[in-house]
Amino acid sequence: MALRFSNTLTHQVEEFVPARDNTVRMYTCGPTVYSYAHIGNFRSFMFYDILRRWLRLRGLKLDHVMNITDVDDKIIRNAVAERKSLAEYTAIYEKAFLDDCEALRLERPERLVRATEHIPEMAKAIQQLADREYTYRSDGSIYYRIAKFPEYGKLSHSDFSGMRSGARVDVDEYEKADARDFVLWKAPKDGEPFWDTELGPGRPGWHIECSVMAIQYLGETLDIHAGGIDLVFPHHENEIAQSEALTGKPFARFWMHAEFLLVEGQKMSKSLGNFFTLRDILAQGHQPEAVRYLLASAPYRKALNFTFDGLKSAATAIERLRNYKLRLESGKFSGRDADALLARTAQARKEFDESLDDDLNTAQALASVFEYVRETNTLMDSGEFPVAAVEPALGLLGRFDSVFDVLQPNTKQGTLSSPEIEARITQRAQAKKAKDFAGADRIRQELLEQGIVLEDTKDGVRWKRK
Ligand code: AMP
Ligand code: ZN
Q: CA-CA distance, 452 to 415, in Å (whole number)? A: 10
CA distances to 12, 47, 58, 258 from 4, in Å: 10, 15, 12, 15
- The pLDDT of residue 412 is 62
- The pLDDT of residue 414 is 57
Ligand 1 environment, Cβ below 6 A: 29, 31-32, 40-41, 43-44, 227-228, 230-231, 258, 260-261, 267-269
Ligand nearest to the CA of 173: 1
268 Cα nearest atom in ligand 1: 19
Ligand nearest to the CA of 230: 1
**Tens-binned pLDDT, residue by residue, of the chain (466 aa):** 799 999 999 999 999 999 999 999 999 999 999 999 999 999 999 999 999 999 999 999 999 999 999 999 999 999 999 999 999 999 999 999 999 999 999 999 999 999 999 999 999 999 999 999 999 999 999 999 999 999 999 999 998 877 777 788 888 777 776 778 999 999 999 989 999 999 999 999 999 999 999 999 999 999 999 999 999 999 999 999 999 999 999 999 999 999 999 999 999 999 999 999 999 999 999 999 999 999 999 999 999 999 999 999 999 999 999 999 999 999 999 999 999 999 999 999 999 999 999 999 999 999 999 999 999 999 999 999 999 999 999 999 999 999 999 999 886 655 677 777 887 888 888 888 888 887 888 888 888 877 788 988 877 888 887 7
- Asked if 376 and 340 count as a contact pair (C-beta separation under 8 A), the reply is no
69 Cα nearest atom in ligand 1: 4
Q: Say if residue 273 is exposed, middle or buried (CB neighbours under 10 Å; 0-12, 13-18, 19+).
A: exposed
Q: CA-CA distance, 395 to 388, in Å (whole number)? A: 12
- Asked if 80 and 73 count as a contact pair (C-beta separation under 8 A), the reply is no
Q: CA-CA distance, 227 to 214, in Å (whole number)? A: 13
Q: CA-CA distance, 229 to 301, in Å (whole number)? A: 9
Q: Give the closest residue to 90 by CA, choosing from 113, 70, 68, 69.
A: 70
Q: CA-CA distance, 4 to 100, in Å (whole number)? A: 30
Other CB atoms within 10 Å distance of the CB of residue 329: 12
CA of 295 to the centre of ligand 1 (A): 13
Ligand nearest to the CA of 46: 1
CA of 40 to the centre of ligand 1 (A): 6
Q: Where are the alpha helices (DSSP H) in 37-162?
A: 39-57, 73-81, 86-103, 119-131
228 Cα nearest atom in ligand 1: 12
275 Cα nearest atom in ligand 1: 19
Which residues pair with residue 76 across a beta bridge?
none
CA of 414 to the centre of ligand 2 (A): 38
For the chain, helix (H) and strand (E) counts, in that order, are 14, 18
Name the pTM for this structure.
Answer: 0.89
CA of 29 to the centre of ligand 2 (A): 4
* CA neighbours closer than 13 Å in the CB half-sphere of residue 83: 0
Q: Say if residue 457 is exposed, middle or buried (CB neighbours under 10 Å; 0-12, 13-18, 19+).
A: exposed
Ligand nearest to the CA of 115: 2
- The pLDDT of residue 93 is 97
Mutate to test the pocket of ligand 1, among 114, 230, 271 (most ligand atoms within 8 A of CB): 230
Contacts of 122 (CB under 8 A, 6+ apart): 115, 204, 208, 209, 212
Which residues pair with residue 185 across a beta bridge?
142, 204
- Asked if 210 and 29 count as a contact pair (C-beta separation under 8 A), the reply is yes
- The pLDDT of residue 453 is 86
28 Cα nearest atom in ligand 1: 10
DSSP track, 127-176:
HHHHHTT-EEEETTEEEE-GGG-TTTTTTTT---TTSPTT-EE-SS---G
- Asked if 130 and 144 count as a contact pair (C-beta separation under 8 A), the reply is no
CA of 274 to the centre of ligand 2 (A): 24
Query: What string of H, E and C letters represents the secondary structure of 236-298?
Result: HHHHHHHHHHHHCCCCEEEEEEECCEEECCEECCCCCCCCCEHHHHHHCCCCHHHHHHHHHHC
